[in-house]
Structure 1
Amino acid sequence: MVYLIASIAGIAGLLFGFDEGVIAGALHLLRAEFGISPLAEGIMTATVPLGAVGGALIGGWLARPVGRRKLLLGAAFLFVVGALLSALAPSLILVCVARLLLGLAIGVAAMIAPLYISETAPARIRGMLVSIYQLAITLGILGAYLVGYTFSDSWRAMFAAGIVPGAALLIGIAILSDTPRWLVLRGRREEARAVIAKTQSLPIDDRLVTAELSAIEAAAQVDLAQGSWRDLFGPVARPALIVGMGLFLLQQLSGINAVIYFAPTVFRLSGFDSTSTQMLATVGIGVVNVLVTVLAMGLIDRIGRRKLLFIGFAGAALSLGLIAAAAATGSPDLQILALIGLVLYVASFAISIGPLPWVMMSEIFPLHLRGPGMSAASITNWVFNFIVVLTFPVLVADIGLAGVFSIYALVCVAGVVFTARLVPETSGISLEDIEKHLKGGKPFSALARSVKAA
C-alpha cells in the first residue's frame, strides 16, 4: 500500500517535470507565432517558477491547518485548469497567465507531495520512496520531450497533454487518507493508527503499529504549538534550515533548469544544426535522466545521502567544464565532447543533486516546523529556478554558453564543500530521532554518529 501511496503522490512530480519540460518543444513554435525577444523568452519561461514561489508560500502556510491531502487535491485541480487554459490561450500574455497557474500548482505540490510520502513511509525505505517523486519529475520531463517531438507542429496540443496526468492526480488523491503524523497533530489518534496499519499491511493492533504511533505522539506532544517562521531561525531549526535552503540553492545554480527548459537551444549552441536532431538529442537526455534516477533510488538508502551528494556535485562540476570547453572552441569536431558532457551532467544530477534535496527537505525539520521549513526550502528552490531560467537567454547572449556553464561548474565545486561541512547523513534514521538530535544542540553534521552512539 505504501508504494501505491508514493506512486499516486508522485504524479505531482510527473506534472512538475512535464510542465517544466514541455516549453522546450513549444518554444520555437511560440517564437514563430508571437515573435519573442530573449528577455521576453526568459520572462515567459520563468512564469512557472515565479508561480511556484507563491505556491510554496501557500503550502507552508496551510500544510498544518488544512492538511497534506486537501492541498494536493487543490494542486491537482489547478494542474487541470492551467493545462486547459494554456492550450486555449489566444495571446502570449494569456499563455504566461496560464503557466503562472501551473507554477502555483507545482509550488504547492512540490512541497506537499514529498512531505506526504515522507510522513507515511517506514524509515528503512523512506529515502527510496520519497525519491519516487524525483523519478516522476524525470518521467514528466521525458514525457514532455516526447510530446514535443510527436506534436512538433502544435504547441497547443503539447500543453493540452498535461490535462491527463492532472486528472489522474485528482482522482488518485481523492481515494487516499491524510498522513498519520498530521492526523495525530489534529487529535485523530485512531485514524492515524488505521493509516499506519493499512500502509504497512499490518493488523491494527500489531505492536509495531502501536510503537510507531507512540513515537509520533511523543514528538507531537512536544510540538503542540504551531511553529512560526521566526522559529526557523532559532537554535533548534537553524541547522536544518541552512541545509534545506542551501541544497536547493546549489541544485538550481548548478544550471539544471537551463538544460531542461532550453535543451534544444543548448544543443543548437553546441553545434547541432537540425531542429529534429536537437529534439532527438533532447529526448535522449530525458532517457538518461530517468534511467539514472532509477539507479539513485536503489542507492539512496544503501550508501547514504552524503556520499551520493559528493559523487553528484563532483561529477556535475567535471561535466559542466567539458561542455564549457567544447562551447568555447566552437569547433564542429567537438560536438561529441559537448554531448558527452551533457549526458554526464544529467547523470550526475539525476543520481544525486536532483532527488536528494527533496528527500532531505522532507526529513530534517522538526514536526511543528515541517510546514514552514519545507516552504522556506521550496521557496529557495523556486526563486533560484526563476533567476536561472530568466537570466539564461540573456547571459548566453552576453557571455556565451561557455561562460554560463563555467559559472555553473564553480557552483558545483562549492556544493562539494557545503556537503562536507554541513550536511548530515539521515539514511535509516527516524524522523523523531532527527528531531531529537536537533533539540539536543549537537552539530547537525554529526547526526549519524550521535544516533549510533545512543
Structure 2
Amino acid sequence: MMIYFVAAVAGVAGFLFGFDEGVIAGALHLLRAQFDITSTQEGVMTAAVPFGALFGALAAGRAVERFGRRRMLLFAALLFVIGAALASAALGAVMLTLARLVLGFAIGVAGLVAPLYISESSPADKRGMLVSIYQLAITLGILGAYLVGYAFDDSWRTMFAIGMIPGIVLFAGMAVLRDTPRYLAMTGRRDEARKAIASLRGIRTDDPRIETEFAEMVETADADRGHGSWSELFGKVARPALVVAIGLFFLQQLSGINAVIYYAPSVFDEAGFGDSSTQILATVGVGTVNVLMTLVGMALIDRIGRRKLLLAGFLVTALSLAMIAIGAATDAQAMDVVAFVGLVLYIGAFAASIGPLPWVMMSEVFPLSVRGRGMSLASITNWGFNFLVVFSFPILLNHIGLAGVFGIYAFICAIGIIFTFRYVPETNGILLEDIEAFLRTGRPFRQLGMATGPATAAAKGAAE
C-alpha cells in the first residue's frame, strides 16, 4: 500500500535524526586529538544538536500549520544536507558546533513534522505501527552512525559528509508526495484530500469508504476552524493531552537514553572495556539491539496497546538501570558483566516501548486545531531535556560517578510507571477524530479505551 511508502519516506527524517545524533560518538576521539577540546567544549559541541532541535521544534509548531506538513519536511531535508556539508568542512570546534546547531534545527523540525505526517496519513488500526517506523528509522540511523564510525575511524570528515546522502533521499521522496488528507481538508482543498485518501488506502476515488473517512475529517476541521490559540492548548479540553505528551517526553529523556547514545564508548570504558575500537564495536552491538527491539515494539504496539507497553517498558528500564548502577559501584569483574547485561536490557526495553511511544502518542492525542502547537511544546520538552541530559552527563560522571548517574535515571523510570498508570490513555485503534471527541466530554483522559474495545470507546464516550 501507498501508506507504507509514505511512512518509509517520512521515516528517513528519523534516520537522519539518529545518524546526526549518533555520529559524534565515533568522531569524538578524533576531534579531541585534532582540536584539543576541553570537556566543556565537548559538552557544548555534543549538545548543540538537541539545543538546535529545541528551536527547530519551536519554529515548526506554527509553521507546520501555515505551510503544511510536506513543505516543512522538504525544508528540513535541505537543512540536513547543508548542515552535514558544513560539519564535514569544519575548520575548528566552533564551526563544527555551528554546523551541528543547523543539523539540530533540522532534526527539531523533522521530529515534529514526520510523526505528524505519518499519523495524519495512517488508518487507525495501523497508526501505532506506522508512526513507530519513525522510531525504527532513528535506531537504524544510530546504528548506521556507529557503523560509519567504525568503518571510517580515521576520518571524522567522511563520517559527517555521509549524512548528506539520506538528506537528499528525504528531499527527493517528499517532492513526489502529497500533503496529508487532514491538512488538505483543514485548508479547504477537499478534492485533493479525497484523492490523497484514495491513494493512501489503495482504493478508487469513487469508493464510498472515502466519503465516510472524508466526512469525519471535514466535520472535525470545520469544528476547529477559527480555533487553535495557545490559550486553547492550555484549556481544559486539550490540557490532559498536553500533560500526557509533555510528561512522556520528560520521562523518556530523563531515563538517560541520550547519555548512552552520545557517550556509549565512554560508558563502555567505565564498564571495563579496553581500547577505542573495542568500545565502538561494543557500541555497534548496542545499536543492533536497539534496532531489533524496536521491531519487537512495532509488532506489539497495535496488539497489546500503548499503556501496557509503556508500563512494561518503565518497569524493565528501572530494573536494568539499577543493575548498571550496582555494577558500576563495585570493582569486581563479575559486576562489570552485570552492568553490561543491564545496559543491553535497558536499550532493548527502551527501544520496544519508551522510545517509540511518546512520538506515537504525541501525534495522536491533541485536537486538530492545536495539534501543531501541542506537538511543538512536547517536542520542546523532548529537546530541552535531551540537551540537559547530554550536557550534564560528563559533568555528573566526574562528580558522582557512573553508579550515581544511572541510579538517578533508574528512579526517573520508576516514576514513569506511576505516571503512565495515572494519566496515560489507551489510544490503540481509535480514530484521531474520536480521541478529540472524548477529550471534549471532560472525562478523565486515562479512561479512553478502557471500558470498551478501542475502536468504539471514544465514540461512546462522546455520546454520553
TM-score normalised by L of structure 2: 0.97
User: In the alignment, what sits opposite 1:161?
Assistant: 162
User: In the alignment, what sits opposite 2:446?
Assistant: 445
SS in 2 for 1:178: coil
Offset at residue 129 of structure 1 (A): 0.3
The range that moved more, 12-21 or 444-453, is 444-453
2:16–2:166 Cα contact (<8 Å) kept = yes
Offset at residue 292 of structure 1 (A): 0.4
CA distance in 2, matches of 1:182, 1:342: 41
CA distance in 1, matches of 2:327, 2:339: 6
The range that moved more, 282-291 or 56-65, is 56-65
User: In the alignment, what sits opposite 2:304?
Assistant: 303
- Across the aligned residues of Structure 1 and Structure 2, the Cα RMSD in angstroms comes to 0.9
SS in 2 for 1:302: coil
1:426–1:434 Cα contact (<8 Å) kept = yes
Matched AA of 2:438: H
User: In the alignment, what sits opposite 2:180?
Assistant: 179
Matches within 5 A, 1:221-236: 221-236=222-237
User: In the alignment, what sits opposite 1:378?
Assistant: 379
CA distance in 2, matches of 1:62, 1:182: 13
CA distance in 1, matches of 2:233, 2:37: 42
1:261 aligns with 2:265: no
1:436 aligns with 2:419: no
User: In the alignment, what sits opposite 1:19?
Assistant: 20
Matches within 5 A, 1:327-338: 327-338=328-339
Aligned residue pair count: 454
1:129 aligns with 2:130: yes
1:219–1:432 Cα contact (<8 Å) kept = yes
Matched AA of 2:87: S
- Identity percentage over the alignment? 61
Matched AA of 2:137: A
Matched AA of 1:4: F
Matched AA of 1:178: D
Offset at residue 336 of structure 1 (A): 1.5
CA distance in 1, matches of 2:410, 2:61: 32
SS in 2 for 1:221: helix
User: In the alignment, what sits opposite 2:144?
Assistant: 143
Matches within 5 A, 1:20-419: 20-419=21-420
2:51–2:387 Cα contact (<8 Å) kept = yes
CA distance in 1, matches of 2:151, 2:339: 25
CA distance in 2, matches of 1:185, 1:433: 17
Offset at residue 26 of structure 1 (A): 0.5
Q: Deviations over 1:53-94 (max 9, x none)?
A: 111011101111100000000000000000000000001000
2:84–2:163 Cα contact (<8 Å) kept = yes
Matched AA of 2:393: F
The range that moved more, 217-226 or 103-112, is 217-226
SS in 2 for 1:363: helix
1:270–1:330 Cα contact (<8 Å) kept = no
SS in 1 for 2:34: helix
Offset at residue 331 of structure 1 (A): 2.7
SS in 1 for 2:225: coil
Matched AA of 1:325: I
- Moved runs in structure 1, 4+ residues, more than 2 A? 330-335, 449-453
CA distance in 2, matches of 1:167, 1:270: 38
Q: Which runs of 5+ in 2 are unaligned?
A: none
SS in 2 for 1:329: coil
CA distance in 2, matches of 1:271, 1:225: 59
Matched AA of 1:360: M
1:41–1:393 Cα contact (<8 Å) kept = no
2:80–2:106 Cα contact (<8 Å) kept = yes
Q: Deviations over 1:131-163 (max 9, x none)?
A: 000000000000000000000011111101101
Offset at residue 273 of structure 1 (A): 1.5
CA distance in 1, matches of 2:82, 2:446: 43
1:87–1:160 Cα contact (<8 Å) kept = yes
CA distance in 1, matches of 2:204, 2:192: 14
Matched AA of 1:424: P
Q: Deviations over 1:179-215 (max 9, x none)?
A: 0000011100010000000110011111111100000
Offset at residue 263 of structure 1 (A): 0.3
2:246–2:377 Cα contact (<8 Å) kept = yes
Offset at residue 47 of structure 1 (A): 0.3
Q: Deviations over 1:392-412 (max 9, x none)?
A: 000000000000000000000
CA distance in 1, matches of 2:390, 2:34: 21
CA distance in 1, matches of 2:229, 2:50: 25
Offset at residue 226 of structure 1 (A): 4.2
User: In the alignment, what sits opposite 1:420?
Assistant: 421
Matched AA of 2:173: G
CA distance in 1, matches of 2:266, 2:171: 34
1:244–1:361 Cα contact (<8 Å) kept = yes
